[in-house]
Chain A
Amino acid sequence: MTEFPRTPPRQSWTFSNDANAEIRRAAATGIYDIRGGGSKRKLPHFDDLLFLGASISRYPLEGYREKCSTDVWLGTRHAKKPIHLDIPITIAGMSFGALSGPAKEALGRGATEAGTSTTTGDGGMTEEERGHSKTLVYQYLPSRYGMNPDDLRRADAIEVVVGQGAKPGGGGMLLGQKISDRVAEMRNLPKGIDQRSACRHPDWTGPDDLEIKILELREITDWEKPIYVKVGGARPYYDTALAVKAGADVVVVDGMQGGTAATQDVFIEHVGMPTLACIPQAVKALQDLGMHREVQLIVSGGIRSGADVAKALALGADAVAIGSAALVALGDNDPVYEEEYRKLGTTAGAYDDWHEGKDPAGITTQDPELFGRFDPVLGGRRLKNYLKVMTLEAQTIARACGKSHVHNLEPEDLCALTIEAAAMAGVPLAGTSWIPGRSGGPF
């Protein structure tokens, strides 16, 4: 018998091993996949942008010797007591419930030591974070868990959360495994039940009544506190414009790479726009209203390094916020826990079952034995170090571009590596003057 050559086994691109594994998982369990973290796909991102640096047409500043400031004012539009931060990198809202008490404390410590703010989250304000945070932003969420006027008054700013980049249009989710006595009490719910927070606020629905809600919050706090409005990266041009119209002092735009404590994978991966695409739209809205720099813009979703910070600022943001990266700095997904990650059926870097509350690093858990492993003082120091490094990196880039303040970075300092990134960020493709969708260009 002659052996004829055969077609080698060929895997389908469409029905990939991953896609098939998910079909089998759904068929076996009857429930969608829930996980923490942000989008895991490869999306156009800050990596696809480069700084041009200074040369003959513009001169650089001397590293270390010539000043390059990094401070930022937030809430200058209406608040009697706007916030002044030393660095333009803030800690995003992450709920107590999703995170352990010691992890929240570490975020407060690290942020304070680095001269920046931290933010509460769904579930209310804890003593740990109020006590250890010089500047604390208090989130006003649809669930209103723990909401009370005393905490509003002792907050430094108020953030009305409309949406999150990981799930624009979605509500919160905290599954029974993580509802300890303390979490249950703060939220006024029975212990051990699944908590699905509402996706809309209970007492306002659109831009007109958001304006009245903001008025109420200002009146309750005697117009002292900056009021932020946080939106997921869905329609950043309109959302930013409407937030400004409703009276926001600060708009927070969270792109789809933004992390979450627990959300359906289908939501994380298929709803919302990449951070890169959100920034120019939000900036354009502010400019069209004559409000750029008047109302500050904070951008979040996938910020990892000082380069990312510098690029977000160059595109027009006033500051950035970090969630996932702060957790990594604290020790989340650290390879030192590899053996334990293996036992949970995963590996360092891929662990995202935060909703199960079994985090070996003691960060995304309410299990006293696990969070007891986590040292909030050490965690705070690590976060401070990381924030300082990012700031130094952003300054390094800004000086190279000849800027005496990181806010002086501008789109003209950037070029894009890909056509997609050029179109989304609104900067020319490297080596051309071509911004897809905007200009023809001679090159």
Chain B
Amino acid sequence: MLHTATAELTAADREGVKVFDLTAHGLRALNQALHDFRRNPTNETVWEIVNTKGAHAIAVGVDAPLDITVRGTTGYYCAGMNKQATIRIDGSAGPGTAENMMSGTVIVEGDASQYAGATGRGGLLVIKGNASSRCGISMKGIDIVVHGNIGHMSAFMAQSGSLVVLGDAGEALGDSLYEARIYVRGQVKSLGADCIEKEMRPEHYEHLEALLRRGLADGKARPEEFRRYGSARKLYTFNIDNASSY
């Protein structure tokens, strides 16, 4: 149900698309209309949001199998707490994009600012550009695929789910990590407390291959090029001799 880029859209493609002008109608009207699908579904399931002007909280709390394309750059928390919907940002995304996502897919065509996918509990977040610091912070089951690089403190306290990075990772990757899995293809500037490199076993290649495919990156990278990182599980119970790591 993914959109192709605007340029490729023919007039016919656009026909079934509900175009919403955010500047003209405002944020409240947009989110209310999207929420109304929960109780009153219609066949207007393909949406295009235009004139976003970096607004915050675009398409938050959606809980319906909608196909939404946001044209232009977004502010904070676009697609926050998404359930079911496929939301594509045709531009760069502000902080906290897809925070606490439950299910569905969010695709950022450009770069994503801080805390992308924070505390996400399910679904898939694809960032085609780079992600800034704290990508996947405290993630709880979401899968995140970043085609570019990620900033410092990414996957801090990440609990579960997977973070795949085709480029490089910044400082303190996976600090205080729990059970989330991290795969990085490029350089890792440094690992955070309790994060270690782990062996890639056959099941990890398989897992990663599927993630790359779902993350629209299968042509861009091969599983063999990645290293895997996970928790050493040394901070799971308090030990005074590890106090310098806390």
Contacts and interface: CB of A to CB of B under 8 A. Distances in A.
Do A and B pair up? The answer is: yes
Nearest to B137: A202
B31 A202 contact: no
Given A144-B100, A203-B77, A216-B57, A222 B31 contact: yes
Nearest to B34: A219
Interface residues of B, number: 42
A216 B80 contact: yes
A377 interface: no
Interface residues on A, range: 20 to 34
Contacts of A337: none
Contacts of A22: none
Interface in B30-71: 31-32, 35, 56-57, 60-61, 63
A193 interface: yes
A212 B77 contact: yes
Interface string B184-217: 0000000000000000000000000000000000
B134 A202 contact: yes
B87 interface: no
Interface in A277-324: none
Contacts of B63: 149-150
Interface in B110-141: 114-115, 118-119, 121, 134, 137-138, 140-141
Contacts of A193: 236-237
A209 B115 CA distance: 13
Contacts of B240: 30-31
Interface in B129-178: 134, 137-138, 140-141, 156-157, 159-160, 178
Interface of B: prevailing SS? loop
B56 A220 contact: no
B17 to A, nearest CB: 23
Contacts of B35: 222
B81 A144 contact: no
Contacts of B140: 144, 188
A215 B28 CA distance: 10
B85 to A, nearest CB: 12
A188 B141 contact: yes
A149 B83 contact: yes
Given A203-B118, A215-B57, A220-B80, A198 B100 contact: no
A204 B76 CA distance: 10
A336 B227 CA distance: 59
Given A187-B159, A203-B114, A219-B31, 14 more contacts: A149-B83, A149-B100, A149-B102, A150-B63, A176-B237, A193-B236, A193-B237, A202-B119, A203-B118, A203-B119, A215-B56, A219-B57, A219-B61, A220-B61
18 contacts: A31-B238, A148-B121, A149-B100, A149-B102, A176-B236, A189-B178, A189-B179, A190-B178, A202-B115, A202-B119, A203-B114, A204-B96, A215-B56, A216-B56, A219-B31, A219-B61, A222-B31, A222-B35
Q: What are the 7 closest A-B residue pairs judged by CB atoms, nearest first?
A: A220-B61, A30-B240, A203-B96, A193-B236, A144-B119, A203-B115, A149-B81
Interface of B: 27-28, 31-32, 35, 56-57, 60-61, 63, 75-77, 80-81, 83, 95-96, 99-100, 102, 114-115, 118-119, 121, 134, 137-138, 140-141, 156-157, 159-160, 178-179, 236-238, 240-241
